[in-house]
Amino acid sequence: MRHFILGLGCGLLLTLSACSNQAVATRSPVTRPDTAQSTINPAWLSTAAAQQALADGKLSSEQLVRYYLQQIASNNNSGHQLAAISDINPDALTQARQLDAERHAGKVRSALHGLPVVLKANIATLDSMPTTAGALALQGHLTPADAQLVSQLRAAGAIILAKANLSEWANFRGENSASGWSALGGQVRNPHLLSHSPCGSSSGSAVAVAADLTLLAVGTETDGSIICPSAINGIVGIKPSRAAVSGEGIIPIASAQDIAGPMARTVYGAAILLDAMLSPQAKKQFIQPLSTAALQASTASKVLLVRAYDTQDPALPPMLDKLAAMLTAAGIEVVSTDEWQLPPELYQAELKVLVYEFKRDLEQWLRDYQVPAERDTLAELVAFNQAMGEAALGFFGQEYLQQAAVINLESDKASYQQALNQSRQLAEAALDRYLKQQGFDAIILPSYGPAWPIDHVNGDAFNFGTSTAAAVAGYPSVTVPAGFSGILPLGISLVGLPWAEPELLALATLLEQRLAAYRQPGFVKELNN
C-alpha cells in the first residue's frame, strides 16, 4: 500500500534573521507603544489562558508576539534547530500594537483578537511573506491576494506571525521523501525526539505549536497532513468536513480532498481558530460557535473503538484499554473491533484522483496567483527542477510532478471521474457502516504510529496511519493526545459524519480532560541505546 501524508528572495537563514531584526525594530506611528510589563509568563500558555490574560490586562498582544519571536530566534535555526518556521512576518509587531489599541478602546473583534497564528507556507498572503510550498521554483514568490481563510483571520483580529516550513509541495512531489523536508526550509525536527520525524506535510505548523513557537497554527490536509503531524508531535489537530473551510488561495494538490484546519495545544484553542476559518456553508450548519460546543458536555452515547492496530506498538493496548475504561466510566458505550481494513482499490482510485486534480488545480493556482510564466505549468516545474538538480530536488525525485505533467485533462477526464466516484463510495461505505447503519456517534482510532527516525536515504518509515477514510470521504476528524510510546506521542482520532464537528469537539474535550495526555516536549537529541 502506498501511504500518503499529503497536504496541502533569500535563503532561510537570511530571511529569518532579517525578518526577526525588522520585526523587533518595527514601530507603529498610529498606536501608542505598550510599555507595561507583563504580569504573566507567556511560556506554554493555553489559548484560554492567553485570552484571559489579554482581557485582564496582564498581557498584551505585543508582549505575546515578542515572546514567540524570541522563541523562534532561539530554537528555529539556532538552539534545537527545529526548522519549523520559514518566514517571519515583519509586520507582526505592528499588527499586535494596532490590535492592543483596539482592545484598549473597547473594540474586540472576536475570540481570536490579538492571538498569534502561524500559517503553512502553501497559504497565500498579501504581505511580504512568500508563498512557496517549500519549492525552489517558487522561492520569493509574493501573491497578489490573501487566501480567503487569511482574510477571515485578519478580520477576526488574528496576528499572522509567520509561515511554517512543510513537506515540499505538501508531500506530492516524489517517492521516498522525508516528511518535513523542503528545498527552501530544510528538515523540520520533532521536538520530542529531534532525530525523529515530525510527520507531514503540515510539519512546521505542528512543530511550531508543539515547541511553543506560536500559540496557534493552520495546516492543510489532503490525506493525513493535519492528523499525522498533530498526533506525532502531541497536539490537537482538526481536519474539518469537506467545504467547511474555503480552499481559495491555498496551493493545491486536489480540491476533492484538500482542506485547511487548525492546530493547537488544546481542543478549545483549535476550535477558536476553526471558528474564524469557517466558510458560509459551514456556518449555516452549526447553531453555535464550535468553541462553545467544545466546552459543553459530550452527548455521545455509543462509540466504536478500533483495536486493529494493537499489535503495531506495545504502548497501544494499555493506552486504548485506559481510553475504553474512561469512556465507560463517563457513561458512553464502547464497542471494540479488531477489523479495520480499507480495500486496496480505494488507495488506487485516490492516487488517480490526486494526480489528475494536481494537474488541473495546481496549474490554475499558478496562473491565478501570478507565478512567472516560465514556471506556471507542471512541465515547466519539472524542467526547472531537473535543471537545478540537487538544489531543487535534494535526495528524492519528482515522480508525482512528472505523472501529473503528462495528464491530458480532456482525454483522462472519464477515468478520473470514475476514480473519484469509486474512491468516495468506498471511503463513505467504510465509515457509514458504523456511523449510519449501526448508529455510532463516533469512530475512535489510533491516529498514527509513533515517529520514526528521519532518513534522507530511504525516506519515511510509517508504522501505520488511519486518516484515509475520513480524508477521501470528506468526513471530519479530530486528533487529540492520548499517550506515549516511550517519549514519542501517540494520538487518537475521532471521526464522525459530515458537519459533526460540534459533537466531535465535545467528545475530544472529554478525552483531553480525562486522559490528560498532553506533555511539553523534552527536545531530546537522540535516544541512548
**β-strand partners of 164:** 85, 120
Active-site residue (options: 61, 225, 467, 477): 225
Could you tell me the three cell numbers for 380? 515547466
Q: Is 167 a catalytic residue?
A: no
Burial class of 162 by CB neighbour count within 10 A (0 to 12, 13 to 18, 19+) = buried
Is the CB of residue 47 less than 8 Å from the CB of residue 272? yes
Residue ranges with strand state E in 49-158: 85-88, 116-120
Residue ranges with strand state E in 102-232: 116-120, 159-164, 181-182, 186-187, 216-223
**Amino acid letter at 342?**
L
Query: Using N-to-C axis directions, what is the helix angle for 413-435 and 344-357, rounded to 10°?
Result: 130
CA 278 to CA 499: how far, in whole Å?
12
Instruction: Return the ∠ at Cα 327 (arms to 321 and 511), rounded to 5°.
Output: 95
CA 529 to CA 526: how far, in whole Å?
9
Q: To which residue does cell 508543539 refer? A: 210
CA 133 to CA 169: how far, in whole Å?
5
CA 488 to CA 11: how far, in whole Å?
31
CA 36 to CA 39: how far, in whole Å?
9
CA 90 to CA 26: how far, in whole Å?
8
Q: To which residue does cell 456553508 refer? A: 281
Q: Is 201 a catalytic residue?
A: yes
Active-site residue (options: 20, 60, 120, 179): 120
Element (H, E) at 387: helix 378-388
Could you tell me the three cell numbers for 20? 526577526
Is the CB of residue 244 less than 8 Å from the CB of residue 476? yes
Q: What is the sign, positive or negative, of the torsion defined by CA atoms of 384, 129, 253, 464?
A: positive
CA 448 to CA 467: how far, in whole Å?
8
Active-site residue (options: 60, 167, 177, 201): 201
CA 154 to CA 162: how far, in whole Å?
13
Q: Is 336 a catalytic residue?
A: no
Active site residues: 120, 201, 225
